[in-house]
Structure 1
Amino acid sequence: MSLEDKIILCIPGPWEDQRAFVRAVAEASRPDGDYLVTGVIMTHGPNKKAFDFEFCDRDERMAEAFASAGIATRIRDDFLDEIEAHKSVVYLKSTELQSLETAEAIAKAASHLIKAGGIGVKVETAGKAFTASQWFEEMETVSVSLYWLMVLDSVTDDTTIYSCGMRNFGLSDSIVSDEGLQLSVPLLRDFNKYQLYQQPVLSAGQTFRREEGGPTYRLSIEENQPDRHMDIYSNPFGMWRLSRVGPENRT
């Protein structure tokens, strides 16, 4: 599988080496032993899920990366000090095609790595970061919070707003221009959740609106994704452009 076919999570931790990491995963699994590490694969026995992982040494750029990816989640400076003190990094990667089920499984696996000492989680394939406590809090209602964990829906590019991370569910991202931040973000969020939870069959020319009497938007295929040259962010499932067709007032 290529990078485009994977969900990738970055988890810095206190592990001195890979052996220490393997031991920590096993200890966090006691007494049931749900998660096991063999070679470069982490498995969850009850649901028969497997994840590739890459164990890496300390990365001097990690705190800076979390600071950038943590803007949307309001990561604080004291947490960045914790990241700065990390000794190693684990990159957890899905082994099945992206879907709601795959995203939930890897999110739960990341929770286990936090229990094993992980300091936080950065969703590489969305550019979004969380503290350990934020991740645990969202995982309490994972079926509701999974979108928030896996998608950044407020990437700005001049007068254009677009989402990044719907590829984690095997779905298209969305983009809108000239609507302003206050209208664009809830529009993209609601449209993306509509895709995720209603699973409609979409095609160019269809229309979408958030609420009765609200603005209507026509769908078209966006040929030039803003992040098309970045494998970690580009969406192989495409991107929907939403263009307003009425009413004209923008409030």
Structure 2
Amino acid sequence: MNDKLVLCIPGQWKDEDKLIRKLTRKSSGEYSLTGGLLLDTKRNRAFEIRIEEQDPKLAEAFYLSSKGDFSDKTMQKVEKHTMVIYLSGYMGSAEAVQRMIAPVQMLLACGGVAVKIENCDKAFTPEEWNMIGEEARLDQLLNTMISYMQDEHYFYSCGMQMFGLPDVALSKETDPDASLQVMSQFLYLMMNASEGTKDKLNEFKLYGTTYQYHHQEGFFQEESSSINNPYGIYVLTQI
């Protein structure tokens, strides 16, 4: 099972030593790089970090993950990257996801030009990522971390494995605009249920419409894919 949340951060650093010095200076010693780990000394946390050389295929990957919404200026910065950081940490809860926000913000402040969540194939500019707070509400986390895709038959969410939960799918016979609202609301209620609130998923209703749902093992992606959800998926059916 893939149990790591992985974030890709390209930047225009001259070399690894320059990155380390800038990180130490920018964070006033709060963060440090050592032995393949990014250490957060203030919060007593450690994250795995891998630094790679320029990747000629990265710009296209970011363009697709941003759904073409990146500005020309941002895309030029991604294209001119000299190094790529892969930051990873354990996932499986809202708290675990929130822990990844601050270190990514620091790496962006140190010269990162964009960030992509490998687990849901979604990309952000530094400005977009910095709008996320460490104490973000559940709905804010869902809006940020979850992407929505489609295949021949279904609209479906992608990324709920980061919270230790199944994703959701809805037939493409549903209106596209309505499907997004239905899926996001279902995920929000499921998140609340997992956090121990009274919103249990005995049935799901939205604006007078009732949906049946059944759990399906596996996902629409290959098992080896970073966006595969080992917790499966809920398929909603309007009744």
Distance 2:42 2:8 in 1: 24
- The number of residues matched between the two structures is 233
What's the offset of the Cα at 1:140? 7.8
2:192 matches 1:197: yes
Structure 2 equivalent of residue 99 of structure 1: 93
Range 18-27 or range 223-232, more displaced: 223-232
1:45 aligned residue (37, 41, 48): 41
Give the aligned partner of residue 108 of structure 2: 114
Q: What is the match of residue 239 of structure 1?
A: 233
Q: Structure 1: how far apart are the matches of 2:75 and 2:174? A: 34
- 1: distance between equivalents of 2:123 and 2:4? 17
Cα distance per residue 1:55-110 (max 9 Å; x no partner):
000111111111000018x222221111011110000000x342111111112211
CA distance in 2, matches of 1:16, 1:145: 35
Aligned to 2:165: 171
Q: Taking structure 2 as the reference length, what is the TM-score of the superposition?
A: 0.90
CA distance in structure 2 between the partners assigned to 1:146 and 1:16 by the alignment: 33
- Whether the 8 Å CA contact 2:6–2:119 is kept in 1: the answer is yes
- The corresponding residue for 1:83 is 78
Structure 2 alignment gaps of length 5 or more: none
Tell whether the 8 Å contact from 1:126 to 1:165 is kept in structure 2 after alignment.
yes
Unaligned runs of at least 5 residues, structure 1: 246-251
Question: Which one-letter code corresponds to 2:117 in the other structure?
Answer: V
> Where does residue 248 of structure 1 map in the other structure?
none
Q: TM-score, normalised by structure 1?
A: 0.86
Contact 1:27 1:116 in 2 (8 A): no
8 A Cα contact 1:25 1:36, kept in partner: yes
Residue 99 of structure 2 aligns to a residue whose secondary structure is: helix
Give aligned-pair identity as a percent: 28
CA contact (8 A) 2:168 2:235 kept: yes
Deviation at 1:163, TM superposition (A): 0.5
Equivalent in 51, 55, 61 of residue 55 of structure 1: 51
Q: 1:231, CA displacement in angstroms?
A: 2.2
> Matches of 2:116 and 2:168 in 1, distance apart?
21
